[in-house]
Every structure is written in C-alpha cells, then in structure tokens.
C-alpha cells in the first residue's frame, strides 16, 4: 500500500504546489519510488522537475528511477500507468469541489 498525500484547496495561492513539490523531493530521495500527479491547470509541479511542459492532457514522465511525474489536467481516472509500483503518490490538485477527496478515492 502506497503512502498517498493529497495537496488540495479550493483557493489559489495557498501553497499547494510548493508543498507537493517539496514532499515529492523528500520522498523520492529518502523513502522510495514516488509519483507526483499534477492535476493543476497550470502544471507548475511538472515544471519544477521537468524542463519541458507536458504535451498532452495525460502524460507520464520518468525523471529518475525514484521519481515519476504524471500530468493530468483533465483530472481523469489514471489508466496509463500502474499505481501499485509506487511507494508514494503525491497529488497536486486545484479543485472548487467540496467532495474532492471522495471523488479521488472512488476513482
């Protein structure tokens, strides 16, 4: 079972992306294979670790053996990668929905 950390809030400018990228860096360097899922419209988490922005709505990028990035602006169910291969999953998501956590858990 992976550690799953959700960085979300229904307001902008509260530090969601900053928190997500820092936790990702610590986990990837010390705790095991880590996946950062960037569901933010601006894809700022992705840009912290990759030189080029994603080219599609749903993209997996292997930064290193211990760090992968998954860009998912459309907030669709993840089908392109096996989540069970990660020790840690960090989600950076902006959402105006009050039931964000419930939606993610059910997906």
Angle at 13 (CA atoms; ends 38, 23), nearest 5 degrees = 45
Query: Domain extents for the chain?
Result: 3-99
Tokens found for residue 70: 């998954």
**Reported pTM:** 0.78
| pLDDT one-digit tens code per residue, 37-83 | 888 766 677 777 777 666 665 578 888 889 988 877 666 677 666 78
CATH 3.40.50.300 assigned to domain 3-99? The reply is yes
Distance in angstroms (rounded) separating the CA atoms of residues 15 and 94 = 11
| pLDDT one-digit tens code per residue, 7-46 | 877 667 777 888 898 999 999 988 889 999 888 766 677 7
pLDDT at 13: 74
């Amino acid at each position: 079972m992976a550690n799953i950390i959700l960085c979300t809030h229904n307001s902008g400018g509260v530090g969601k992306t900053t928190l997500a990228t820092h936790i990702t860096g610590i986990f990837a360097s010390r705790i095991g294979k880590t996946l950062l899922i960037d569901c933010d419209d601006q894809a700022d988490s992705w840009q912290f670790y990759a030189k080029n922005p994603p080219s599609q709505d749903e993209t997996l990028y292997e930064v290193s053996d211990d760090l992968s990035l998954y860009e998912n602006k459309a907030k669709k169910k993840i089908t392109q990668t096996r989540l069970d291969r990660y020790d840690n999953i960090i989600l950076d998501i902006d959402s105006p929905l009050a039931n964000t956590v419930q939606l993610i858990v059910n997906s």
